Structure formats: structure tokens, C-alpha cells
């Protein structure tokens, strides 16, 4: 039975939404100075809210689409300075850091891709667009808050956003399949001799090594490009992005060590590794 969907749960509130203090993103942002940390966490809160709408896969699509479009309207109102009293927690960072309105739209458009229909075996071009919207757009919103100059921030967001999102896709293959989604691109499924009409219910029992290895290589390329950009920036600008790259690349290493044959154990964040990364960022 389809569950009723209450868009009010995801409606804009008066205060900054409460965030899980255990997330990798949240912990990475703790190393920032308070004024930058508050701005990044506000952007992250927006992203978590619209992501929760998109991932409420048991709910009907139409109300979720309406909720996402309502958030688009709220964002537009913020830029017209009509909704500031209701969304001060997001209005402040937008004004302080001159955040680009289109990037908020891009994030919402990425969530709409998940709501319109279950993504299954997209082309590499479609997958790249999806990663740009749901991940790189977030980087384009946060890089001004980190203090990264415009073009360097755009370039870093392009590569690091894709690296992080592709890592998530590789980590969550079975979890996504349980929601009816297959983000592995059709070109790589064909390379592994799988049909692109693959039933998500079959995913958990398949050896996906040949399909995943090219995606791992692509993810590594984006990590390497992101690290090249970060090496060219002052450490104060890129401490948080470096920490995110460290955490996620470690997860990618763990996946490669585990392999992609069935059954696949869930790769979880190593708390000791996170603590060491935080300490390392603090003293760099």
C-alpha cells in the first residue's frame, strides 16, 4: 500500500533544521570557523530536506514533485527578499556569500530526476548530469563559503562532487536497488554483459565486478583531479573539502578491498579513521 505523503513535514521552518551530528559532511564542517560553518550547514540542511523528499520512495510521486516545486518557489522568494522571516537560516548565507540562485535550482532538478521515475541504467551522460545536479551544485554553493575563488570553486565542485556522488552510488548499490533504482550506467552494464533492463530485485545476487570497476576508475579520476586543484589552493580554503575527499576515498578503498561480488557487506564510515582525519585537518 502506498503511504500517504505529508509535504508539511518538509515545509520551510522558522529555525535551522536539526541535522545528524554523525554524518561525514557535518563532521567535516566542524573544522571551519563558526561563521563559515553556519553558512555551509544551512546549505547542507536545505540539501538534506529536498533529498529526504526525493528518497521518500514509498510515497506517491505527485505530492513529492509538488513539495520540491514548493521549495523552488521558496528559494525564488528568498532572492526576491520575500521569504526572509521564514527562512532566515538560509537567507543569511545567500546574502552573505552571494550564492548563485541557479545552483539551488540545479539541486532541486537533480532531486526531481529521482522523483519523476526510478533511475535505472542511465547513460553515462545522464548519470553525469545527475551527479552535477545533486552533488557538484552543492559544491558550487559551498565553495564561496569556504572562501575559494569563483573559477577554482567551480572546477573543484565539478570533480569532487562527482567523486563523492559516484562513491555513494558504488557504496549504496543494493540499498538503491531495494528502492527500485539502478545508477550503474548502461555502458558499464553492457561491458559486463548485463541487460540494461536489469531487474533491481536481481542486483543483490549478482557479481557486479565488471560493471563497477570502470566506474571506480572514473571516480578515481575525479578524486585525482580534485586533489590537484586543492593542492593549488591555500590550506585555509580547502581544509573541509580535503577532509571530505579523505573520508570518501577511504570508503572507495574499502569497497575495492571487499569487492563487488555477492553478497556485498555494507561499507560504513570508520569512526577511528574519521577522528584521525579530523585531527589531521586541525594541525595541517
Greatest mean pLDDT range, 79-83, 128-132, 278-282: 128-132
Please give the model's pTM, rounded to 2 decimal places. 0.89
SS (H, E, C) the chain: CCECCCHHHHCCCCCCCCCCCCCHHHHHHCCCCHHHHHHHHHHHHHHHHHHHHHCCCCECHHHHHHHHHHHHHHHHHHHCCCCCCCCHHHHHHHHHHCCCHHHHHHHHHHHHHHHHCCCECCCHHHHHHHHHHHHHHHHHHHHHHHCCCHHHHHHHHHHHHHHHHHHHHHHCHHHHHHCCCECCCHHHHHHCCCCCCCCHHHHHHCCCHHHHHHHHHHHHHHHHHHHHHHHCCCHHHHHHHHHHHHHHHHHHHHHHHHCCCCCCCCCCCCHHHHHHHHHHHHHC
Alpha-carbon distance of 200 to 184, in angstroms, equals: 11
Task: Look at residue 48 in the predicted model and tell me its pLDDT.
Answer: 92
Alpha-carbon distance of 90 to 97, in angstroms, equals: 11
CATH dotted code for 25-283: 1.10.600.10
- pLDDT, tens digit, 9 for 90 and up, residues 95-146: 999 999 999 999 999 999 999 999 999 999 999 999 999 999 999 999 999 9
- pLDDT, tens digit, 9 for 90 and up, residues 192-241: 999 999 999 999 999 999 999 999 999 999 999 999 999 999 999 999 99
Domain residue limits, the chain: 25-283
Task: Look at residue 271 in the predicted model and tell me its pLDDT.
Answer: 55
Task: Look at residue 27 in the predicted model and tell me its pLDDT.
Answer: 66
Task: Look at residue 83 in the predicted model and tell me its pLDDT.
Answer: 61
Q: Which residue has the higher pLDDT, 257 or 274?
A: 257
Task: Look at residue 191 in the predicted model and tell me its pLDDT.
Answer: 94
Task: Look at residue 167 in the predicted model and tell me its pLDDT.
Answer: 97
- pLDDT, tens digit, 9 for 90 and up, residues 35-76: 999 999 999 999 999 999 999 988 999 999 999 999 999 999
Mean pLDDT of 27-33: 77
Task: Look at residue 111 in the predicted model and tell me its pLDDT.
Answer: 98
Determine phi and psi for 3, rounding to 5 degrees.
Answer: -75, 145
Alpha-carbon distance of 72 to 106, in angstroms, equals: 10
Task: Look at residue 29 in the predicted model and tell me its pLDDT.
Answer: 75
Greatest mean pLDDT range, 34-43, 81-90, 140-149, 265-274: 140-149
Does the structure show a pLDDT above 50 at 4? no
Which residues sit opposite 3 in a β-bridge?
Answer: 59
pLDDT tier for residue 24 given thresholds of 50, 70 and 90: low
Alpha-carbon distance of 27 to 72, in angstroms, equals: 28
Nearest to 203 by CA among 185, 177, 180: 177
Amino acid at each position: 500500500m502506498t503511504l500517504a505523503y505529508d509535504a508539511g513535514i518538509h515545509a520551510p521552518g522558522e529555525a535551522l533544521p536539526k541535522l545528524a551530528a554523525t554524518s561525514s559532511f557535518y563532521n567535516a564542517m566542524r573544522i571551519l570557523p563558526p561563521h563559515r560553518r553556519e553558512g555551509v550547514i544551512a546549505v547542507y540542511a536545505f540539501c538534506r530536506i529536498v533529498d529526504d523528499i526525493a528518497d521518500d520512495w514509498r510515497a506517491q510521486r505527485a505530492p513529492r514533485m509538488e513539495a520540491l516545486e514548493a521549495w523552488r518557489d521558496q528559494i525564488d522568494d528568498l532572492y526576491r527578499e520575500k521569504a526572509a522571516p521564514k527562512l532566515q537560516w538560509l537567507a543569511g548565507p545567500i546574502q552573505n556569500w552571494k550564492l548563485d540562485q541557479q545552483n539551488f535550482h540545479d539541486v532541486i532538478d537533480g532531486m526531481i530526476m529521482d522523483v519523476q521515475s526510478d533511475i535505472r541504467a542511465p547513460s553515462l551522460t545522464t548519470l553525469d548530469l545527475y551527479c552535477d545536479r545533486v552533488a557538484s551544485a552543492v559544491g558550487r554553493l559551498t565553495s564561496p563559503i569556504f572562501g575559494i575563488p569563483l573559477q577554482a570553486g567551480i572546477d573543484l565542485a565539478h570533480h569532487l562532487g562527482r567523486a563523492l556522488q559516484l562513491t555513494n552510488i558504488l557504496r549504496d548499490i543494493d540499498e538503491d536497488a531495494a528502492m527500485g533504482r539502478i545508477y550503474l550506467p548502461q555502458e558499464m552494464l553492457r561491458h559486463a554483459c548485463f541487460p540494461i533492463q536489469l531487474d533491481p530485485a536481481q542486483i543483490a545476487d549478482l557479481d557486479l565486478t565488471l560493471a563497477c570497476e570502470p566506474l571506480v576508475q572514473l571516480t578515481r579520476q575525479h578524486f585525482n583531479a580534485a586533489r590537484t586543484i586543492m593542492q593549488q589552493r591555500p590550506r585555509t580554503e580547502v581544509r573541509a573539502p580535503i577532509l571530505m575527499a579523505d573520508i570518501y576515498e577511504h570508503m572507495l578503498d574499502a569497497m575495492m578491498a571487499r569487492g563487488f561480488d555477492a553478497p556485498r557487506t555494507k561499507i560504513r564510515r570508520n569512526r577511528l579513521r574519521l577522528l584521525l582525519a579530523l585531527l589531521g585537518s586541525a594541525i595541517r
